[in-house]
Amino acid sequence: MNLYIDKDNLISIIKQNKHPLYPHVINTIKRQLKVFFNFSKKSIESDEFILHFFNNLTEGYGDGKNPIFLEDSVFPPRPVLSECIETFNAETLSGVYLINDSNVDRFKELGAVLVSKVGDEMETFNSLFLKRNDYDFTKSLKIGGREFKKWGDLKKYNLPLTDIVFIDRFILNDKSNLESNLISYLKVLCEHSNSCVNIVFYVEKKKVGTNLLEVMNSIKSAIASVTSKSPNVTIIEYTAQRDMDSLEEHDRTIFTNYLRIYSGDTFNYWYSTSLKKTKGRNLIYFSLAKKEEHDLVRDLISDLQENINFLKANKTGIHGDRKSNYLNFN
């Protein structure tokens, strides 16, 4: 995952060196993230306050990589405009932005990417730590347990997003499950988004027991009620058979710009009465700030893209808007 940081935000982090999260933030910058400094190295050479910290920060920088100075070509370009998000790609849409700009609040309010203004850096990193207040990138929740009795209990772990990819071959198997599970959870995930969200489903065709057009329209209406913008919805149906085994995905997984969410059982957890129906035990959130998790999702995207390419070539199985920032349907 990329981190883009302005000089004023760097100074702000240095000044918070007594904060309990400070050592965890430094370790994350050094060990987990690819760092882009929105200033030139020359601009800090005469500043002993920054330079001492900077030398410690970059010492032993993970995997032998070096931070990158963007000199005058800062990212995102300034002044930051809300429209600039349309120029982002899959890599930058999963980036973290510690920036000082007069428009930073408006940019953050898009809910599309993770943004911190000066002074809020520790809070931003704690979001990547899944509110653990520790160097921890995983949160496991017992389904029906004290912390997770309904979908709304997961709001605290929300991170900005532009895309949701939902891999669960059973998620569309029963119309009666939709409102109390899929739609309710999607509304929670999108709660802080004020931009158009791309939602992709990867399901097994023989497990689909609902009308796809009705499902897509229901999702569009529900998400528009939360974000004020109708989402793009795409459903990929694959057929699992002997000569097409590579298309099958057994694990139930969701990934967004900053999260991988894993469930052993289908995400159909609750009856419409709110009583628990699943036999599954845990739901696990993984922050993509951890390089290992980020790499796993990149591999997953690559595998899904191969399957999509196969289905495109055979002109079958892809329905809806065909829009995603992480998968190519063209």
Distance in angstroms (rounded) separating the CA atoms of residues 138 and 130: 7
Q: What is the pLDDT at residue 280?
A: 87
Give the pLDDT mean for 101-109.
96
Question: Cα 174 to chain center, whole Å?
Answer: 27
Q: What is the pLDDT of residue 241?
A: 61
Question: How buried is 243 (Cβ within 10 angstroms: 0-12 exposed, 13-18 middle, 19+ buried)?
Answer: exposed
pLDDT at 242 over 80: no
Mean pLDDT of 181-203: 96
pLDDT at 243: 55
Note the pLDDT of residue 232.
98
* Residues 15-28, mean pLDDT to the nearest whole number: 96
Helix or strand run (H / E) with residue 285: strand 282-287
Q: What is the pLDDT of residues 77-104, one digit of tens each?
A: 999 999 999 999 999 999 999 999 999 9
pLDDT for the residue 47: 86
Give the distance from CA 320 to its chain's centroid.
22
Whose CA is closest to 289, among 6, 95, 7? 95
Place of tokens 């970059």: 58
**Half-sphere exposure of residue 271, counting CA atoms within 13 Å on the CB side?**
5
* Residue 140 backbone phi and psi in degrees, to 5: -105, 130
Q: What is the pLDDT of residue 311?
A: 92
Distance, in Å, from the CA atom of 141 to the CA atom of 129, rounded to the nearest integer, reads 15
Q: Quick one: pLDDT at residue 62?
A: 56
pLDDT-derived band at 63 (thresholds 50, 70, 90) equals low
Q: What is the pLDDT of residue 211?
A: 95
Instruction: Decide if pLDDT at 66 tops 80.
Output: no
Q: Looking at residue 65, what is its pLDDT?
A: 64
- The DSSP annotation for 205-253 comes to GGG--S-HHHHHHHHHHHHHHHHSSPPEEEEEEE---GGGGGG---SEE
Lowest mean pLDDT among 42-51, 123-132, 136-145, 205-214: 42-51
Distance CA 240, CA 295 (A): 26
**Over pLDDT 90: what percentage of the chain?**
82
> What are the structural domains of the chain?
2-128 (no CATH), 138-320 (3.30.870.30)
- What is the predicted pLDDT for the residue at 279? 86
The answer, yes or no, to whether residue 244 has pLDDT greater than 60, is no
With contact defined as beta carbons under 8 Å apart, do 105 and 189 qualify?
no
Q: What is the pLDDT of residue 48?
A: 84
